[in-house]
Amino acid sequence: MKFPSDFVWGAATSSYQIEGVEPKHGRGDSVWDDFCRNSGAIKHNHSGVIACDHVNRYRDDVALMKKMGLGAYRFSISWPRVMPEGVGATSETGLGFYDRLVDELLAVGIEPWATLFHWDYPLALHHCGGWLNPASPYWFEEYVGVIIDRLSDRVTNWFTINEPQVFVGLGYGTGEHAPGLKLPISDQILISHRVLQAHGLASRTIRERSKTAPRIGWAPVGVISYPATDNPADVEAARKATFSCSRENVWNNTWFDDPAFLGTYPEDGLKLFEKYLPDSWQRDLEVVAQPMDYLGLNIYRGTAVRAGADGDAEHVGLPVGDPRTAFGWEITPPAMYWGPKFLFERYKKPIIISENGLSNRDWIALDGRVHDPQRIDYTARHLNELGRAINDGVVVNGYFHWSLMDNFEWAEGYDQRFGLVYVDFESQERTPKDSASWYANVIKTNGNSLDDPATIIEARPAPITRSAPTKKESK
Ligand code: FCB
């Protein structure tokens, strides 16, 4: 198995999940601040107030990334940290933070990959109608302009928006995520439409205003059906299921990716949802389909299917006692072969795996280290499948592990540990897990170490040492 020599090996985080609020920044509230304070919906009433205190410890965190040999780091920018009211005035302290983070990364040879929106929507704009307001795409465009003017001399890789399916579905449908609304599907569709417009306007702004040649994509969640066997009928059924938009919810690929990459909504989706779109929807779509450089895919798991009597997909149940992550998510590595393959074939854009990983019950063992063979095995299985897709002609430019470090996992609070680096949330001490050293070796060998299954368990690499105690920054 060979990964291309310029393959990007990275890890990912997002602003609200790691930064901490830091009152000195004059940051505005996001819907997540408000949701954590008031909804009672977060496990143990946790919040992102301190999170990983990354805003004060980013230098140590970048030093750890360097020790792991990361080639790239995907982080997100907190909109209300840089524009407290969402539009209008900017915060110099907030912008300065991202300036310094980017400089620190570049100084040690790590490519910054910035996500412009990973769910921490400015509360002030939410109070003005949020994503339901027809002006909302233009608010986002204004914010993106500020970021591009500030960072595009040094940042060239951009994701506009992370997982529209999740923040629309959980934030405005089931109410499990901020802002905790339970709106009917008609409103969720209208919001999705505004989000697509925002993506288009943002992409255009990045392209037009960047000081260096940008590369642009977005990071939807890949909703993957994969065939239970290689039988062509099963493969076809899986492909159809992956591209269908035939249920009254936002959990699909094509309602989002077709407009962004093909300039149209899918026909089956229009049958269900056209009635909820504004009259101007066709005109609105003109701005949505901007030239894209890659398609980011967040893939954690998929659904096994086979062809039923009519050729349509039928779910194939997983065996009793099947492997699961600590979150209870099924472990389904073939999703990492079929997902990139199907989506590459439809949209013909290079794929970036913008997130993949698992939560695990990690703790510090008596020997002072964090042993997480499940994370190593899960990641190896998924990278093997990704390598197989590459060998079969799918163009994949990079892989970002979720996550660099344990962090605030939304409604789960701090219960789900996704990191390559263990975080003690009381002391803020970081301890790289075994998986961090293992991943460092994968990176060093450009994936060739994956050919030797023994490296997964037996040849446990030397630990990456813990970070030194951190000093708080004065700024
Ligand atoms: C994805 C999110 C990310 C993280 C992982 C586990 O849906 O993009 O922020 O929560 O799941």
Please state, rounded to an integer, the average pLDDT across all residues of the chain.
Answer: 96
Strand order in the sheet with 302-307: 224-227, 302-307, 313-315
Instruction: State the pLDDT confidence band at 466, using cuts at 50, 70 and 90.
Output: low
213 CA from centroid of ligand 1 (Å):
28
Tell me which of 361-365, 389-393, 457-461 is least confident: 457-461
Write the CB contacts of 132 (distance below 8 Å, at least 6 apart in sequence).
187, 190, 191, 194
**Model-level pTM?**
0.96
Looking at the CA of residue 119, tell me the nearest atom of ligand 1.
9
**Number of other residues whose CB lies within 10 A of the CB of residue 400:** 27
Rounded distance between C-alpha atoms, residue 111 and residue 352, angstroms: 14
In DSSP terms, 12 is beta-bridged to 74, 402
Instruction: Tell me the average pLDDT across 31-37.
Output: 98
Kindly list the protein residues whose Cβ atom lies closer than 6 A to any atom of ligand 1. Answer: 14, 17, 162-163, 166, 221, 298, 355, 402, 409-410, 418
- Quote the distance between the C-alpha of residue 219 and its chain's center: 6
Tens-place pLDDT, residues 182-229: 999 999 999 999 999 999 999 999 999 999 999 999 999 999 999 999
The single residue listed with the structure tokens 């897990």 is: 433
Name the residue of 298, 358, 407, 420 whose CB sits within 8 Å of the most ligand 1 atoms, as the mutation to test its pocket. Answer: 298
Q: Which amino acid is at 302?
A: G
Q: Tell me which residue of 442, 473, 475 sits closest to 1, measured CA to CA.
A: 442
19 is catalytic: no
Question: Where are the extended beta strands (E) located within 13-137?
Answer: 72-76, 111-117
Tens-place pLDDT, residues 244-277: 999 999 999 999 999 999 999 999 999 999 999 9
355 is catalytic: yes
